[in-house]
């Protein structure tokens, strides 16, 4: 499949890996980090970079190793937080804002807690693990919609997804299906097959073998330890009863700047792009 080169596309070498990233704007540096779902890449933020740049932000979205067009790592279990700090070093960024979508919220939160001198601001978009569980959901993952998606992803691990599989996964995570243009679908599918698929399968197998890492104290109980401004945005229609859990978090930590987006599921950078831009620009530049 032919790969179109974006005008804002760059590359850099990090620990021997060729890493692709997208960059627009000057001003306050902000690193946008995608999640680990099959097909994820820096392109998740493709519709956000220009708006952030226009507001005075140097917006940098990176393909994590093994995703998009970045080289795959020899160790699929290598911590994302270590890579992100090395990526910042490669770009000469001593300090930057970190913006994590979905599962990327966890490593950016860890960096903010462990290396506060490197993080100017922190934005979390739709990271379910950074919300408290509801009493009735302790031990459950994601409810009915989450279970359906888990079955879909489990099936995808067994063989490369078809174009329709990729569409189904996008639709499960997106409230506004009209945003799934032919171009966006083909791009997402390209990042779901070949080397990206092989790395995804290896990562999935490693997680199944070792199990997910558990903290002694859940990260959602550590917001008061953060030394930098924090902004959280969740979709009201996201899986796992995210809206209820976000409301519960706000009750427990009233000072949090937390927003719920109407007509928004898990792909916050797509469904809630306008709200994200409206909140993020003044948050990052003030």
Q: How many Å is the Cα radius of gyration of the chain?
A: 18
Range of the domain at 41: 9-131+214-285
Instruction: Assign residue 68 a region (left: φ > 0; alpha: ψ between -120 and 50; beta: otherwise).
Output: left
- At residue 144 the predicted structure's pLDDT band, cuts being 50, 70 and 90, is low
> Does residue 247 belong to any structural domain of this protein?
yes
**Total-model pTM:** 0.92
Which tens digits make up the pLDDT trace of 79-119? 788 999 999 999 999 999 999 999 999 999 999 999 999 99
> What tokens were used for 256?
């949090």
Specify the CATH number for the domain of residue 248.
3.40.50.1820
pLDDT, tens only, 38-57: 999 999 999 999 999 999 99
Residue 70's contacts (CB-CB under 8 Å, 6 or more residues apart) are: 17, 18, 19, 20, 62, 63, 64
Asked whether residue 208 is assigned to any structural domain, the reply reads no
Domain count, the chain: 1
Over residues 224-248, mean pLDDT: 97
| 139 domain residue, yes or no | no
Q: Is the pLDDT assigned to residue 204 strictly greater than 90?
A: no
The pLDDT score that the predictor gives to residue 141 is 45
| 151 part of a folded domain | no
**Domain-embedded: residue 199:** no
Inside any domain, residue 150: no
Residue 243 in domain:
yes
Does residue 261 belong to any structural domain of this protein? Answer: yes
Task: Please name the residues in contact with 181: beta carbons below 8 A apart, sequence gap of 6 or more.
Answer: none
């Amino acid at each position: 499949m032919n790969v179109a080169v974006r005008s804002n596309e760059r590359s850099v070498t990090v620990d021997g890996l060729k890493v692709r990233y997208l960059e627009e704007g000057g001003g306050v540096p902000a690193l946008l980090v995608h999640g680990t779902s099959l097909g994820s890449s820096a392109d998740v933020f493709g519709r956000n970079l220009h708006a952030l740049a226009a507001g005075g932000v140097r917006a940098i979205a990176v393909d994590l190793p093994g995703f998009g067009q970045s080289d795959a790592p020899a160790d699929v279990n290598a911590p994302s937080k270590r890579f992100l700090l090395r990526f910042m070093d490669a770009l000469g960024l001593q300090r930057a804002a970190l913006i994590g979508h979905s599962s990327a919220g966890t490593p950016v939160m860890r960096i903010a807690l462990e290396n506060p001198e490197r993080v100017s601001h922190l934005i979390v978009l739709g990271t379910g693990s950074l919300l408290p569980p509801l009493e009735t959901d302790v031990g459950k993952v994601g409810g009915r919609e989450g279970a359906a998606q888990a079955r879909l992803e489990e099936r995808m691990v067994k063989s490369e997804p078809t174009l329709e599989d990729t569409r189904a996964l996008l639709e499960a995570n997106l409230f506004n299906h009209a945003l799934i243009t032919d171009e966006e679908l083909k791009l997402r599918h390209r990042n779901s097959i070949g080397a990206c698929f092989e790395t995804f399968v290896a990562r999935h197998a490693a997680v199944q073998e070792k199990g997910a890492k558990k903290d002694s104290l859940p990260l959602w109980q550590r917001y008061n330890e953060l030394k930098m401004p924090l902004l959280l945005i969740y979709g009201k229609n996201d899986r796992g009863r995210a809206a209820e859990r976000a409301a519960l978090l706000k009750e427990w930590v009233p000072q949090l700047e937390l927003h719920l987006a109407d007509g928004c599921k898990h792909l916050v950078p797509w469904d809630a792009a306008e709200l994200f831009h409206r909140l993020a620009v003044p948050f990052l530049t003030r």
